[in-house]
Structure 1
Amino acid sequence: MLELTILMPCLNEAETLATCIQKAKGFLARTGIKGEVLISDNGSTDGSREIAEAHGARVVLAPRRGNGIALSTGIAAAKGRFVIMGDSDDSYDFSRLDAFVDALRGGADLVMGNRFRGGIEPGAMPFLHRYLGNPVLSFIGRVLYGAPVGDFQCGLRGFVRDKILALNLITEQLEFCPEMVMRAAMADLKIVEVPTTLKPDGRSRKPHLRTWHDGWRHLKLLLTFAPFSLFLYPGALLFALGSVLFLPLLFGPLDLGALTLDTGAMIFAATFIIIGFQLMWFHALARQFAVRMNLLPTSPRFERLRERLSVESACKGGAVFMGLALIATIAAVGHWAANGFGPIDPGTITRAASLVAVLSALGLQSFTGGFLWGLMTQKAPAQAAVETQTVTAQTVDAAQQV
């Protein structure tokens, strides 16, 4: 097995591809590393494939368009224990990969280049990318995933091939690179950074990257893989804040020094409770889906939740909320009847209506959330059939042994 594969995705890079290959092969020759240069072609029509083969690189063909598709195809086809990947537009120097190899040999699973530490030449990175997009997205990634990475979007990186293949990365476009960092962090892989330089690419055409479109896709990916930060924590905070305000206001205005809270604040508190409860259900459902689809790892805490939460338990909780809502409604109507069905203080009506609305909403959310949870925990027909066949085969084997 080779020690290193230098992988370059390629889509119509005839202007720069030969230079990148020559630098990569020069690095292998200078260091004596047993390796290969691999080009994953993404449907080039400008002769890039022929250029790569003429300069001694191995070429694999991605089945369809997409930077993530090209990279995943190349990683799967790589023969090296380590892979260092980078764009084939001559913006990265493939002749200077020593720091990446040293870090990989030293036990790192993923080695990220950091262009902000290594240097960005004038004109190499658009202003918005350099001072807004990359810093903001990298900050969000560090906060949500705890990844020690200051440049999430850096295209030059090295990794242990088998470790990255085991992550089962799924994105097909430019989000593939940040997904790799996120999933590596969630899998507790050892991630380190090394400074790398970025210079203006050597192409005469516009880059494939679209600032706002791809920036939004990256942000959406960061949030999608963080159901705790996106749903659970905001939901729990809203629910707690709403409850702290709502319960005292049920019995009358709340004086806080110079500030008096009354029915208006109660309506806002009721809204916080309902939205917060819904967000917590969203978290449970999103986490269940992500674990089932192997997008996120499970955890002891989540497994305990799966053992306790079922359609039956959710419906019981919903029935309790709906029962309390019915009791509150009967009490309110009884109070009105005691007053001869005449005019009632607006504050009294608002408090009773808010309580009924909150309890009813929590009940309905529990019913719908429970049924969705039940659907998502059911085995797919194909999976159930396989398990049935396995059990049947084991039973037959046991009978034959007897």
Structure 2
Amino acid sequence: MSEKIELSIVMPCLNEAETLEICIRKAQSFLIKNHVRGEIIIADNGSTDGSQNIANLLNAQIVTILEKGYGSALRGGIKAASGKYIIMADADDSYDFESLLPFLTTLRSGSDFVIGNRFKGGIEKGAMPFLHKYLGNPVLSFLGRLFFRIEIGDFHCGLRGFSKEAYLKMNLKTTGMEFASEMIVKSKLNNLSMVEVPTKLHQDGRTRPPHLNTWRDGWRHLRFLLLYSPTWLFLIPGITLMVLGFCVSVLLIIQPVIIKHIMLDIHTLLYSSSMILIGFQFFVFYALTKIYAVENGLLPKSNRYNKLFKYLNLETGLITGGVFLIIGITLSFYGFSIWKDTHFGNLNPSHTFRIIIPAVFTILFGMQIIFFSLFFSILGLKNNPN
């Protein structure tokens, strides 16, 4: 029996003829010098510059990936990998394939996921564009740490390693550059152990521009982080709007509020009431996004998810919505009685609108709660064995 492969080195490739040879030779040198049983996989994404011939001449394994995209190429290459561990990096000679030992050593020690940190290891002059170095990477890495509580300083380092077992747990789905963010987020959500290794970034050896598009791919990363964090995208803004709208509305229902020479009255009350409804819509989208993501395998099921169906159920929603409806109808009758007392004549808007606006709001709010709870209970049928 042949000895099992320990390490698979995977390189995504799209027209990398200028630098592919040196990357493969460095990877081969690493395997030989460190006595590692390994393989080199070139995940070709439709090269037309002869990259495949270079890989063939150097005895690297070529995997043809038809679906376009950075993520698609890597997913295809990793799927074909036979190694217990996998290390991936671009084939543009910006990372040194002869310096992979810290990654492999960390993986051997039991870590699930190892990622390089270019800001700790050093960035060669001209290796990273100004916007990426001082805006894109720091901001997106900060948001990733904030949203997911991940202690990773460089979210977008392309040199990273992981065990094949850990990779399968990640269940990665994205096809573009956001694949890099998804890998880190899914590692955290699946409670995989993550370690950073200082890594030097060199100026790549290509004469053509890189495939990376600063604004388009930056937006894809940001969009992914937001969509995978419904708490920050929907729940926190929703709660903020509801609390702020409620506080302002209560003050204005009691009496107008005067701040210096500015008087806030019934017109402001109308807007503050609307803030509560909009905030509730944010909460609804939070719940629905969470359900969709979990049921489609985009997010792992958690205890918090199960509690969602325990406390947000049809009975609770019908009772809560019914209470708001009764309050709204009662206030409406009270407002009608005031109008009746004037023999259905003119009313003082500043007085009556403090009754009518809350009446209309509570009726709308009650109906929204009832409809949401009905729909939510349908989604939760398979989560409720009783």
Interval containing the TM-score (normalised by the shorter chain):
over 0.9
Mapped pair 1:7 → 2:14: no
Hey, what does 1:179 align to over in structure 2?
A: 182
CA contact (8 A) 2:314 2:373 kept: yes
Q: Name the structure 1 match of 2:199.
A: 196
1:2-401 superposed matches below 5 A: 2-254=5-257, 261-311=264-314, 313-377=316-380
Secondary structure of the equivalent of 2:84? Answer: strand
Displacement of 1:271 after TM fit? Answer: 2.3
The residue type paired with residue 187 of structure 1 is N
Q: Which amino acid aligns with 1:173?
A: G
Could you tell me whether the CA contact under 8 Å between 1:285 and 1:372 is conserved in 2? Answer: no
Which SS does the other structure have where 1:322 is aligned?
Answer: helix
Shift of 1:277: 1.2
Deviates more, 1:356-365 or 1:281-290: 356-365
TM-score using structure 2 length: 0.92
- Maintained 8 Å contact 2:116/2:198: yes
Task: Give 1:276 deviation, angstroms.
Answer: 1.4
What amino acid maps onto 2:144 in structure 1? G
1:26 is aligned with what amino acid? S
| TM-score, normalised relative to structure 1 | 0.89
The SS at the match of 1:87 is: coil
Matches of 2:75 and 2:304, distance apart in 1:
32
| In 1: Cα distance, 2:301 partner to 2:145 partner | 21
- The CA deviation at 1:253 is 2.9
User: Aligned equivalents of 1:315 and 1:292: distance in 2?
Assistant: 25
Question: For the structure 1 residues 119 and 168, does the alpha-carbon distance in structure 2 shift closer, same or farther, using more than 3 Å as the test?
Answer: same
Q: Deviations over 1:233-279 (max 9, x none)?
A: 22122212222222243232357899865434423321221111111
CA distance in 2, matches of 1:307, 1:63: 44
Separation in 1 of the partners of 2:89 and 2:244? 48
Q: Structure 1, residues 344-384: CA drift from partner, whole Å, max 9, x if none?
A: 222123322321232133123224423442454466xxxxx
Instruction: Give SS of 1:171's match.
Output: coil
Q: Gaps spanning 5+ residues in structure 1: where?
A: 380-402
The answer to whether the Cα contact below 8 Å between 1:7 and 1:86 also exists between their aligned partners in 2 is yes
Higher mean C-alpha displacement, 204-213 vs 237-246: 237-246
C-alpha separation in 2, matches of 1:232 and 1:43:
42
**Identity fraction in percent:** 44
Q: Partners of 2:259 and 2:146 in 1: how far apart?
A: 35
Instruction: Give 1:339 shift.
Output: 2.2
> Residues 256, 204 of structure 1: CA spacing in aligned structure 2 closer, same or farther, 3 A cutoff?
closer
Equivalent residue for 1:383? none
* Greater CA drift, 239-248 or 172-181: 239-248
| Aligned equivalents of 1:254, 1:235: Cα separation in 2 | 24
SS state at 2:87 partner: strand
Contact 2:7–2:38 under 8 Å retained in 1 = yes
- Counterparts of 1:251 and 1:338 in 2: how far apart (Å)? 22
Asked whether the equivalents of residues 113 and 157 of structure 1 are also in contact (C-alpha less than 8 Å), the reply is yes
CA RMSD, aligned part only? 2.0
Aligned length: 379
Q: Cα deviations across residues 39-76 of structure 1 (Å, max 9, x unaligned)? A: 11111122211211211211112131111111111111
1:209 and 1:375 mapped to 2: Cα distance?
43
- The answer to whether the 8 A contact 2:169-2:190 is kept is no
Q: Which amino acid aligns with 1:180?
A: M
Could you give the per-residue CA deviations for residues 290-334 of structure 1, whole angstroms, max 9, x where no partner exists?
110111122223212213434565344334333322222121111
Q: Provide the rounded CA distance (Å) in 1 between the counterparts of 2:321 and 2:53.
A: 65
SS class of match (2:6): strand
Is residue 5–residue 37 contact of structure 2 (8 Å, CA) maintained in 1?
A: yes
In structure 2, list runs of 5 or more residues that go unmatched. none
Q: C-alpha distance in 2, partners of 1:305/1:198?
A: 44
Deviation at 1:200, TM superposition (A): 1.7
Match of 1:384 in 2: none
Amino acid at match of 1:286: T
Letter aligned with residue 7 of structure 1: V
CA contact (8 A) 1:138 1:151 kept: yes
**1:148–1:192: 8 Å Cα contact kept in structure 2?**
no
CA distance in structure 2 between the partners assigned to 1:260 and 1:285 by the alignment? 39
| Letter in structure 2 aligned against 1:165 | L
The residue type equivalent to 1:206 in the other structure is: P
- What is the rounded CA distance, in whole Å, between the counterparts of 1:305 and 1:33 in structure 2? 48
The separation in 2 between residues aligned to 1:298 and 1:242, in whole angstroms, is 32
